[in-house]
Amino acid sequence: DAKTTQPNSMESNEEEPVHLPCNHSTISGTDYIHWYRQLPSQGPEYVIHGLTSNVNNRMASLAIAEDRKSSTLILHRATLRDAAVYYCILGRTGNQFYFGTGTSLTVIP
Amino acid sequence: DGGITQSPKYLFRKEGQNVTLSCEQNLNHDAMYWYRQDPGQGLRLIYYSQIVNDFQKGDIAEGYSVSREKKESFPLTVTSAQKNPTAFYLCASSIPGILSEKLFFGSGTQLSVL
């Protein structure tokens, strides 16, 4: 089962860091951890992905637990444009990407 | 620019009618997907295709059909058998077999029942 568990919603003040958690206790050794975000009435867009090591890109950082059963997406300075639904999913053999309900992030000015 | 184009953006279906949603990509991706999203919910996989002339059912394939005659195109037909078709439909593509490869999404089609 390639399911992940995320909190339904989170809030952050503008220009403060945000840590979005994700549990994936059934992850297998070859599953990649992907994060996407979705604005209202749009398709999801890629944020970041990783396998074992922490990853950084211009949008965010991904911290992966040593046992890989959880991960955290880090937005270093939240802006109003970061308000979206964030999905944590597993990339698995057979190209079946399963999306849960995600975390709705509200950024407070 | 490469990307995925979904059309139309809005679509209305009458009772008993079949409707087809278009999805075209110029990313040269072999794998394509259709997801359904209900208000306030996550995405659920309807069908996916890893190569031309081949496709597999996802979690909620009943009442839907697809074809994959060309690499660039993966149309979804919502048949009259789908009793609750009102939803936001998303098409995506990726390179198959590479688990680190990301998904690219279209901008979606909102289907409503008249």
- Each of the 114 residues of chain B gets a pLDDT tens digit; together they read 679 999 999 999 888 899 999 999 999 999 999 999 998 888 999 999 999 999 999 989 999 999 999 999 999 999 999 989 999 999 999 887 666 678 899 999 999 988
> Which three-class secondary structure state does DSSP give residue B32?
strand
- Gap between the Cα atoms of A27 and A81, Å rounded: 31
Which of A31, A98, A100 is opposite residue B99, by nearest beta carbon? A31
Q: Does B85 touch chain A (CB under 8 A)?
A: no
pLDDT > 60? residue A1: no
Q: What is each CA distance from A9 to A12, A102, A104, in whole angstroms?
A: 10, 8, 4
Across chain A, what does the average pLDDT equal? 91
Q: Does B33 touch chain A (CB under 8 A)?
A: yes
pLDDT for B100: 67
What pLDDT, in 10s, does the model give residues A21-74? Answer: 999 998 888 888 999 999 988 999 999 999 998 999 988 999 999 999 999 999
Residues with Cβ within 8 Å of residue B91, at least 6 apart in sequence: B4, B6, B21, B23, B25, B32, B33, B34, B35, B74, B76, B105, B106
- B42 contacts A32? CB cut-off 8 A: no
Which of A31, A49, A95 is opposite residue B31, by nearest beta carbon? A95
Q: Does B92 touch chain A (CB under 8 A)?
A: yes
- A93 contacts B42? CB cut-off 8 A: no
- Mutate which of A42, A86, A97, A101 to test chain B, going by most B C-beta atoms within 10 A? A97
pLDDT for A88: 94
Q: Two tokens at B35?
A: 């997801």
Nearest Cα to Cα of residue A37 among A99, A109, A108 = A99
pLDDT for A41: 86
- Gap between the Cα atoms of B45 and B24, Å rounded: 18
CA of A13, closest CA in chain B: separation in Å? 23
Q: Does B110 touch chain A (CB under 8 A)?
A: yes
Contact by Cβ (8 Å): A74, A21: no
β-pair type (A9-13, A103-108): parallel
- Mutate which of A47, A64, A95, A96 to test chain B, going by most B C-beta atoms within 10 A? A95
Contact by Cβ (8 Å): B105, A44: yes
Angle, alpha carbons A70-A76-A81 (nearest 5°):
105
Supply the DSSP symbol for A92. -
